[in-house]
Amino acid sequence: GAGVSQTPSNKVTEKGKYVELRCDPISGHTALYWYRQSLGQGPEFLIYFQGTGAADDSGLPNDRFFAVRPEGSVSTLKIQRTERGDSAVYLCASSSTEQNTEAFFGQGTRLTVV
Protein backbone atom coordinates (compact mmCIF):
# COMPACT_ATOMS: atom_id res chain seq x y z
CA GLY A 1 0.00 0.00 0.00
CA ALA A 2 0.90 3.64 -0.15
CA GLY A 3 1.48 3.96 3.56
CA VAL A 4 1.37 2.14 6.87
CA SER A 5 -2.18 1.06 7.61
CA GLN A 6 -3.49 0.32 11.10
CA THR A 7 -6.81 -1.18 12.06
CA PRO A 8 -9.00 -0.48 13.84
CA SER A 9 -8.54 3.26 14.16
CA ASN A 10 -10.42 3.21 17.45
CA LYS A 11 -11.06 0.39 19.89
CA VAL A 12 -13.05 0.53 23.11
CA THR A 13 -12.87 -2.53 25.31
CA GLU A 14 -13.80 -3.52 28.82
CA LYS A 15 -11.21 -4.07 31.49
CA GLY A 16 -10.03 -7.66 31.45
CA LYS A 17 -10.78 -8.30 27.79
CA TYR A 18 -8.35 -9.35 25.07
CA VAL A 19 -7.61 -7.10 22.08
CA GLU A 20 -5.69 -7.38 18.83
CA LEU A 21 -4.34 -4.41 16.91
CA ARG A 22 -3.26 -4.85 13.31
CA CYS A 23 -0.50 -3.17 11.32
CA ASP A 24 0.01 -3.44 7.57
CA PRO A 25 3.43 -1.92 6.74
CA ILE A 26 4.60 -0.36 3.52
CA SER A 27 5.10 -3.08 0.93
CA GLY A 28 8.68 -4.32 0.90
CA HIS A 29 9.64 -2.85 4.25
CA THR A 30 11.45 -5.45 6.30
CA ALA A 31 11.64 -3.52 9.56
CA LEU A 32 8.50 -2.95 11.63
CA TYR A 33 8.09 -1.17 14.97
CA TRP A 34 5.36 -0.73 17.54
CA TYR A 35 5.25 2.35 19.74
CA ARG A 36 2.78 3.51 22.38
CA GLN A 37 1.82 7.15 22.80
CA SER A 38 0.09 8.39 25.93
CA LEU A 39 -1.77 11.70 25.93
CA GLY A 40 0.61 14.64 25.76
CA GLN A 41 3.70 12.48 25.42
CA GLY A 42 6.03 11.32 22.69
CA PRO A 43 5.86 7.78 21.35
CA GLU A 44 7.58 5.09 23.44
CA PHE A 45 9.20 2.06 21.87
CA LEU A 46 7.55 -1.32 22.42
CA ILE A 47 8.96 -3.87 19.99
CA TYR A 48 10.93 -4.17 16.76
CA PHE A 49 10.69 -6.82 14.06
CA GLN A 50 13.25 -7.53 11.38
CA GLY A 51 11.46 -9.86 9.01
CA THR A 52 9.44 -12.41 10.95
CA GLY A 53 11.43 -12.31 14.18
CA ALA A 54 11.15 -9.94 17.09
CA ALA A 55 14.68 -8.55 17.27
CA ASP A 56 13.99 -6.43 20.34
CA ASP A 57 10.94 -6.63 22.61
CA SER A 58 12.52 -4.76 25.52
CA GLY A 59 9.85 -2.06 25.46
CA LEU A 60 6.89 -4.34 26.10
CA PRO A 61 5.64 -3.35 29.57
CA ASN A 62 4.77 -6.84 30.81
CA ASP A 63 3.80 -10.33 29.69
CA ARG A 64 0.25 -9.29 28.87
CA PHE A 65 1.64 -7.73 25.71
CA PHE A 66 2.71 -9.85 22.77
CA ALA A 67 3.27 -9.19 19.06
CA VAL A 68 3.69 -11.40 16.02
CA ARG A 69 4.64 -11.00 12.40
CA PRO A 70 4.32 -14.54 11.01
CA GLU A 71 4.95 -13.85 7.34
CA GLY A 72 7.22 -10.86 7.63
CA SER A 73 4.58 -8.37 6.56
CA VAL A 74 1.43 -7.76 8.63
CA SER A 75 1.94 -7.58 12.38
CA THR A 76 -0.53 -7.98 15.22
CA LEU A 77 -0.09 -6.53 18.71
CA LYS A 78 -2.00 -8.57 21.26
CA ILE A 79 -2.94 -7.39 24.74
CA GLN A 80 -4.39 -9.82 27.27
CA ARG A 81 -6.42 -8.94 30.37
CA THR A 82 -6.51 -5.27 29.44
CA GLU A 83 -6.20 -2.65 32.17
CA ARG A 84 -7.31 0.98 32.17
CA GLY A 85 -3.64 1.98 32.14
CA ASP A 86 -3.27 0.36 28.73
CA SER A 87 -5.37 3.15 27.23
CA ALA A 88 -3.20 4.99 24.68
CA VAL A 89 -2.59 5.38 20.97
CA TYR A 90 -0.65 2.42 19.59
CA LEU A 91 1.48 3.39 16.63
CA CYS A 92 3.08 1.15 14.06
CA ALA A 93 5.97 2.20 11.82
CA SER A 94 8.01 0.55 9.12
CA SER A 95 11.27 1.21 7.33
CA SER A 96 13.00 -0.38 4.38
CA THR A 97 15.88 -1.62 6.53
CA GLU A 98 17.01 -1.16 10.11
CA GLN A 99 19.98 0.99 9.18
CA ASN A 100 18.96 4.43 10.42
CA THR A 101 16.52 4.92 7.60
CA GLU A 102 13.29 6.83 7.61
CA ALA A 103 10.56 5.27 9.72
CA PHE A 104 7.05 5.88 8.40
CA PHE A 105 4.22 5.81 10.92
CA GLY A 106 0.63 4.75 10.55
CA GLN A 107 -2.25 6.81 11.94
CA GLY A 108 -2.39 4.71 15.08
CA THR A 109 -5.06 2.79 16.95
CA ARG A 110 -6.62 4.64 19.86
CA LEU A 111 -7.31 2.04 22.55
CA THR A 112 -9.65 2.92 25.38
CA VAL A 113 -10.12 0.46 28.24
CA VAL A 114 -13.23 1.17 30.30
- Binding region for other proteins (CB under 8 A): 4, 6, 31, 33, 35, 40-45, 48, 55-56, 59, 91, 93, 95, 98-100, 102-108
How far apart are the C-alpha atoms of 109 and 57, rounded to whole Å?
19
Nearer to other proteins, 79 or 92 (CB): 92
| Beta-carbon count within 10 A of 73 CB | 18
Shortest Å distance, C-beta 51 to other proteins: 13
Sign of the alpha-carbon torsion through 50, 56, 61, 65: positive
Shortest Å distance, C-beta 50 to other proteins: 8
Nearer to other proteins, 13 or 107 (CB): 107
**Residue 29 pairs with which residues in a beta bridge?**
none
Shortest Å distance, C-beta 92 to other proteins: 8
Kindly state the DSSP code that residue 63 receives in the 8-state scheme. Answer: T
